[in-house]
Structure 1
Amino acid sequence: MILVKRFFKALVRRKPIEEDAESKSRLVRCLNTFDLTALGVGSTLGLGVYVLAGHVAYKQAGPAVIISFFIAAIASVFAGLCYAEFGARVPKAGSAYIYSYTTVGEFMAFIIGWNLILEYAIGTASVARGYSGYVDALIDNKIAHFFNETLPLPIPGTAGYFDGFAFTLTMVLAVMLAFGVKESTGFTAIFTVVNLYAVFFVIIAGAFRSSLDNWEIPASQVPPGFGKGGFFPYGFQGVMKGAATCFYGFVGFDAIASTGEEAKNPQRSIPLSITISLFLILLAYLGVAGVSTLMAPYWLQGSNAPLTDIFTMHHGWVGSTYIITFGAITSLSTALLGSLFPLPRVLFAMASDGLIPSVFKSTAGAKKTPIFSTIMSGLFAGITAALFSTDELTDMMSIGTLLAYTLVALSVLILRYRCDDPVDSNPAHEKDGNEDNESVNNNTADDDQLVVVSQKPSLMSLLLNLEGFKVPNESTTEVSATIILVISFLCLILDGCLTFLYDEIVAGSIYSLSAIAIIFTFIIILMILLNRQPQTSIPNQTRLVPLLPALPIVSALFNFYLMYNLSKRTWFRFLVWMGFGLSTYFMFSMRNSKGYLKQSYKETEDEESEETNQPVIPVARNEDIHNNHFNNL
């Protein structure tokens, strides 16, 4: 029984948020707001801006792709605000891993960290493979022909050959990151500016050849299989499916949150750079999506290079190909750097906490770069890029990001409603910081006659906070955590119903609609009860998530829905990876983490204290009133 209790205690042990976290960093603080903004834009605004808008318009949303991007941007802003608040409150390297460690517990933090390793590695590999394919297309597929002849790989499930170009490209980038973070972010800033120049060229030049007629094409002129024409050729469902796809075009800004120990002023620069980067990315996507659908009918934008085809084939601007191609190359370069940049930071944070071998936290040189983590990250991502095709890699990119976004959103709620010091949960001390417990003070005169009556508040009183607590205590923290857990479970059920009962809902099934209404009503009621609970007092500059508790819950609800729409193959690969991770945690991490070592040391001290303090000396009753401060008799 003792072993079982220790096991569950290990799963929920949390890492305290250090007040002087900013001053104890082992990494050099050298990044300003401009560096972080360039990193966020470069990580997110990759090849998707040149391909994604055309593909979503072609098969999902038509001209309404701009609405799809706007909806996806709203969901990304929700996640961005949650990341920004945690980045300001927890200025440490590790991104969502650290956030979950300080709120949910060690076990969930390991799951998120392990998941982020996969996400960043596959993100880097997929961009490297896409980079290789794009360059290969410009030189008549000479790269593929060369490696097919020299390094064939006739293994099912692989790309058919070992892509040495993608591997070399990834390793060169890893060496660049190991050389110094400031130099690598300077490279990102230059290429991001070039990429934005190409994007704005497309928007401005394309505006002169735009026509509103392409948003008002009648159904009689639309080829079979391409909807009903007009602005919404695929209807509302097409817009929402397009939003789910467009959401992945905003993935990457969380790389900013991983720089908590390298930002000069993380409380200011991390939230500001996340906001600016998301705004610039939204403008780029809306501009490109709007111009491309105004320049040519949406059913002509399904190629691998839709922007190039629109400018050359439909408008005869051959010279624009060079600008667009150069912009695509620079965007791939920055996206590659942005994908690999956070991975060594996550490994560094996990190694610092003892969850993976300590060699991953080693730094080198005056710039204190996590060199071993960086090189191993490049090696892992490079081999993955060389072995698998882009389609196989991109299947696994989304699930880790969505899970991390969801955990961060829920962690904001947990942290806002959690008491900082759960030791003293006496309501008399917690209703108001200025009130004194007069009943205790008036009765301490009579040591022999004193009787303390402790009445536990009822469940209804706790749920509605009828005691009027102004700050969180142990009881309100437990109530809030329980409500958040139940809301998360109901969000999973609601999204499952919306996904698997969609046809019945559209058909007007009374049973399906009633189930949706009942679950939604319960979620609203629980949100009202959660809003009644006291929140922890934090500085205004770190209180960045508005509309609590609604906004994080809406963010989690949207992310759960997107996760339900991932393929079975993606879930299977994810479960295999997590099976390997769980084995690592229970066999190594659980008994080597700093939290376990501190817990074991404390338990040993308690046992020794119990042995040395025998026999127990009786203590007068009145001494139990004053916080158990004993006097030696």
Structure 2
Amino acid sequence: MTGNTLYRTLCRKKTFTAEDTEPGKEKFRRVLTVFDLTSLGVGATLGSGVYILAGTVAKSIAGPAVVLSFVVAAIVSSFSGVCYAEFAGRVPKAGSAYIYSYVTVGEFIAFIIGWNLFIDHTIGTASVGKAMTNCLDAILGDPQKRYMKKHYPMHVDFLGEYPDIGSFFFIMLIAIVLAWGVRKSSTLNSVFTVLNLLTVGTVITSGIYFANLSNWFIPKSEIPVGVKGGEGGFLPFGWTGVVVGAARCFYGFIGFESISTTGEETKNPKKTIPLAIMFSLLVATLVYVGVASVLTLMWPYYDQDTEAPFSVVYEHLGMPVIKYMVTCGAIFALFTTLLGCLFPIPRILYSMASDGLLFEFLSIVNEKTKTPLVATLISGLGAGILSTVFNLEQLVEMTSIGTLISYLIVCVCVLILRYKNNDTEVRDNDTNIDSNNSFFNSWFDLANAKIPNADTQFASRILISIYTITAFVFCICSVNIDCYGGAYQVPIVVTIVFTVAVLLIIPIVLNRLPQAIENLMFKVPFVPFIPCLSIVLNFYLMMELSYKTWIRFGSGIIIGIFIYVIYGARNSIEGKKQSVSEDIKDGQIQKIAL
């Protein structure tokens, strides 16, 4: 394979024919509404963390200002959310960030993203299944834990203490529900999401009754000796605590991207999916802010319990009934999160298999249930096995990185498409460009072009590439600056200053370039600034993850690349289309020559 052929193979893009979008040709049943998708997004986002995360961040990171941390995290999440919303309107197909990047960036990057999402959601499903059985087992007095540790202990360092059979059966039960039909699983998800929100509403209402505003303004002199309470007041750990807390709270908003995998099962997806993404983020923000507010108003922030804050607070307040309601709410939340985590996996596998990048049997849609039955059961089996042999801490460490990478890619893709030259035949006739000044005209748009052309498209892609690389370098240096001292800090500080200057200049230059004029149901506002900011923030959060997470991520990617090389690259539908097109072109050339 020549270098040119290899490049064309890795960068070939997904195209849709009239047959692909023709009404009546869908394999799935379009039954999902805005309410269904919002319930899916809220259920996937508001897991058990809604009852735990606020107490953890308030105790030693942000104090009562955890409320502001959730607001900041919501704003940051919305940056990625609006990018997903625009892409959902552009490409209303199953596959989430995989299909978005396939249309925009190319096949190889799309495969890596799709494979990465598959791994990430599978591990996430396993971790939620594990958390659910741990919760139920604890309520019943740990019968499974005691029995399995006694008769079937696992004395392996990188595995759990015992095989968690309960979590395996829970996950397989959810997989069967999802395979049964999207309408039935969506209804069940909506019921448990409503029950979870009713529990949250009860918590917030009772919290308002017991609220004491003085708990937001506790002076330092009243903080017990030996307790890590900062400087007291509403901002005991300063604005730094708010920012650090926001980074922790950000993970509480992960899950809305599950909505974007329903493109072929949704009524009017170009309108419904963007609305559902925005609504789910809004509901999640209101819930998190409300829960964080009442928790820190009911009880001093420095005395919060990090594992079960609400249960402990209600026990102190002498309200055991609400304490048990919170426990039930956590179970409802875990159930909906389990549905939300497992739901996208078979859709991603189906989409990749339909494109020929994964094995064909994964693209089979059952005629009766109208779901990717085989892919759903295989997804449940894989997640169930992981939850059986690993413990919860190990699973949690392996999550999030795939989601953050998909957020990053979607933001980059939005930038690429906004500055794309959609009509190669069009020339900008409104300007007289001097060839000697073509560099300045294309890069700074001194000629004030109204629509993108080949020059401005090329300039934008170079700028986007430089911005992405610079953001990566800036985040690595920023996260690791405290690890080095003395003379080593000087080059790091210089690098940070230089990269900050580049990160500020490039969006301004990009803003000077013309953007494509398109009629979309939803468009990201303030382009290029919002996608650019989201790129930096997603890189920063990825850099905060441990090196073990990156090693596991790298191992999974290597396996994926192996599958792509031996199967995907050879069986790609787009590759076959490309070959047919080239054969036709060669035939025409030979005919002309004759």
Instruction: State the TM bucket, normalised to the shorter chain.
Output: over 0.9
What does the per-residue CA deviation read over 1:302-341, in whole Å, with 9 as the maximum and x for residues that have no partner? 34211111011x2011111221121111111100000000
Secondary structure in 2 aligned to 1:380? helix
- Partner residue, 2:342: 340
- Partner residue, 2:372: 370
Secondary structure in 2 aligned to 1:271? helix
Q: Which structure 2 residues correspond to residues 454-469 of structure 1 after superposition, within 5 A?
A: 458-469=438-449
Q: Which structure 2 residues correspond to residues 9-24 of structure 1 after superposition, within 5 A?
A: 9-16=8-15, 21=21, 23=23, 24=25
Q: Give the counterpart of 1:533 among 509, 513, 518.
A: 513
Sort the Cα spacing of 1:144 and 1:465 in 2 relative to 1 into closer, same or farther, 3 A.
same
What does the per-residue CA deviation read over 1:235-291, in whole Å, with 9 as the maximum and x for residues that have no partner? 333222211111110010111111111110111111111111111111111111111
Q: Which amino acid aligns with 1:143?
A: Q
Residues of 1 paired with 2:21 and 2:201: CA distance? 40
- Partner residue, 2:560: 581
- Partner residue, 2:420: 418
Q: Which amino acid aligns with 2:501?
A: T
Q: Does the alignment pair 1:595 with 2:574?
A: yes
In structure 1, the gaps of 5 or more residues are 438-452, 616-633
- Which stretch of the first structure deviates more once superposed, 393-402 or 487-496? 487-496
Residues of 1 paired with 2:568 and 2:134: CA distance? 39
Secondary structure in 2 aligned to 1:25? coil
Residues of 1 paired with 2:49 and 2:591: CA distance? 67
Secondary structure in 2 aligned to 1:586? helix
What percentage of aligned pairs have identical amino acids?
Answer: 42
Task: State the TM-score, normalized to the length of structure 1.
Answer: 0.89
- 8 Å CA contact 2:449, 2:514 repeated in 1: yes
- Partner residue, 1:478: 458
- 8 Å CA contact 1:17, 1:102 repeated in 2: no
Q: Does the alignment pair 1:565 with 2:544?
A: yes
Kindly report the root-mean-square deviation, in angstroms, between the aligned alpha carbons of the 2 structures.
2.4
Q: Does the alignment pair 1:218 with 2:219?
A: yes
Shift of 1:25: 3.1
- 8 Å CA contact 1:21, 1:91 repeated in 2: no
Residues of 2 paired with 1:163 and 1:456: CA distance? 70
Q: Which structure 2 residues correspond to residues 49-60 of structure 1 after superposition, within 5 A?
A: 49-60=50-61
Residues of 2 paired with 1:587 and 1:593: CA distance? 11
- Which stretch of the first structure deviates more once superposed, 383-392 or 488-497? 488-497
- Partner residue, 1:250: 253
Q: Does the alignment pair 1:239 with 2:242?
A: yes
- 8 Å CA contact 2:59, 2:306 repeated in 1: no
Residues of 2 paired with 1:459 and 1:502: CA distance? 41
- Partner residue, 1:4: 3
- 8 Å CA contact 2:58, 2:301 repeated in 1: yes
- Partner residue, 1:522: 502
Sort the Cα spacing of 1:328 and 1:420 in 2 relative to 1 into closer, same or farther, 3 A.
same
Sort the Cα spacing of 1:113 and 1:540 in 2 relative to 1 into closer, same or farther, 3 A.
closer
Secondary structure in 2 aligned to 1:542? coil
Shift of 1:59: 2.7
Q: Does the alignment pair 1:296 with 2:299?
A: yes
Q: Does the alignment pair 1:68 with 2:69?
A: yes
Q: Does the alignment pair 1:430 with 2:427?
A: yes
What does the per-residue CA deviation read over 1:14-69, in whole Å, with 9 as the maximum and x for residues that have no partner? 11255763735321111011100111111110100011111111232121111111
Residues of 2 paired with 1:223 and 1:53: CA distance? 24
Shift of 1:367: 3.7
What does the per-residue CA deviation read over 1:140-194, in whole Å, with 9 as the maximum and x for residues that have no partner? 1112112224443222211121111100000011010000001001001111111
- Partner residue, 1:165: 166
Sort the Cα spacing of 1:22 and 1:334 in 2 relative to 1 into closer, same or farther, 3 A.
farther
- Which stretch of the first structure deviates more once superposed, 146-155 or 364-373? 146-155
Q: Which amino acid aligns with 1:292?
A: L
What does the per-residue CA deviation read over 1:467-487, in whole Å, with 9 as the maximum and x for residues that have no partner? 443222322222111111111
Secondary structure in 2 aligned to 1:541? coil
Residues of 1 paired with 2:286 and 2:438: CA distance? 52
- Which stretch of the first structure deviates more once superposed, 196-205 or 57-66? 57-66
- 8 Å CA contact 1:251, 1:401 repeated in 2: yes
Q: Which structure 2 residues correspond to residues 348-387 of structure 1 after superposition, within 5 A?
A: 348-387=350-389
- 8 Å CA contact 1:14, 1:102 repeated in 2: yes
- 8 Å CA contact 2:12, 2:574 repeated in 1: yes
Shift of 1:223: 4.1
Q: Which amino acid aligns with 1:126?
A: S
- 8 Å CA contact 1:17, 1:90 repeated in 2: no
Task: State the TM-score, normalized to the length of structure 2.
Answer: 0.94
Q: Does the alignment pair 1:399 with 2:401?
A: yes
Shift of 1:385: 0.8
Q: Give the counterpart of 2:390 among 388, 394, 397.
A: 388
Residues of 1 paired with 2:590 and 2:437: CA distance? 37
Shift of 1:503: 8.0
In structure 2, the gaps of 5 or more residues are none
Sort the Cα spacing of 1:30 and 1:419 in 2 relative to 1 into closer, same or farther, 3 A.
same
Residues of 2 paired with 1:52 and 1:408: CA distance? 27
Residues of 2 paired with 1:239 and 1:362: CA distance? 48
Residues of 2 paired with 1:69 and 1:326: CA distance? 24
Q: Which amino acid aligns with 1:51?
A: I
Secondary structure in 2 aligned to 1:316? coil
Q: Give the counterpart of 1:269 among 269, 272, 278.
A: 272
- Partner residue, 1:441: none
- 8 Å CA contact 1:22, 1:261 repeated in 2: no
Sort the Cα spacing of 1:396 and 1:257 in 2 relative to 1 into closer, same or farther, 3 A.
same
Residues of 2 paired with 1:146 and 1:510: CA distance? 57
Residues of 1 paired with 2:404 and 2:449: CA distance? 35
Residues of 1 paired with 2:347 and 2:11: CA distance? 23
Residues of 2 paired with 1:18 and 1:76: CA distance? 34
- Partner residue, 1:134: 135
- 8 Å CA contact 1:22, 1:92 repeated in 2: no
Q: Which amino acid aligns with 1:177?
A: L
Shift of 1:519: 2.2
- 8 Å CA contact 1:206, 1:291 repeated in 2: yes
Residues of 2 paired with 1:110 and 1:196: CA distance? 36
- Which stretch of the first structure deviates more once superposed, 472-481 or 345-354? 472-481
Q: Which amino acid aligns with 1:262?
A: E
- Which stretch of the first structure deviates more once superposed, 248-257 or 227-236? 227-236
Q: Which amino acid aligns with 1:192?
A: T
Q: Which amino acid aligns with 2:105?
A: V
Shift of 1:555: 0.6
Residues of 2 paired with 1:303 and 1:409: CA distance? 34
Secondary structure in 2 aligned to 1:161? coil
Residues of 2 paired with 1:504 and 1:389: CA distance? 34
Tell me how many residue pairs correspond in the alignment. 589
